[in-house]
Amino acid sequence: MNIDPALLEILRCPECRSELELGDDTLTCRGCGLVYPVRDDIPVLLVDEATRPD
């Protein structure tokens, strides 16, 4: 995955505004735990597209 580190620093969870942690093909919120997909190196920060970990 190829997300600019500067962009990653400013991205926040749209649900709770916490920081996001980069995974393989996902961004995981450190606050509420929502997991957002990353498609073609583009973060999809839509709560409706996010999943909650089991």
pTM of the model: 0.89
Could you report the per-residue pLDDT of 11-45, keeping only the tens digit for each? 999 999 999 999 989 999 999 999 999 999 899 99
Is 9 part of a structural domain of the chain?
yes
CA distance 30 to 41: 20
Phi and psi for 6 in degrees, rounded to 5?
-65, -40
Is 36 part of a structural domain of the chain?
yes
pLDDT surpassing 80 at residue 54 = no
SS3 36: strand
Q: Could you tell me if residue 40 is left (phi over 0), alpha (psi between -120 and 50 degrees) or otherwise beta?
A: left
Is 19 part of a structural domain of the chain?
yes
C-beta neighbour count of 29 within 10 angstroms: 22
CATH number, domain containing residue 36: 2.20.25
- Give residue 31's domain range: 5-49
Q: Domain count of the chain?
A: 1
Is 27 part of a structural domain of the chain?
yes
Is 54 part of a structural domain of the chain?
no
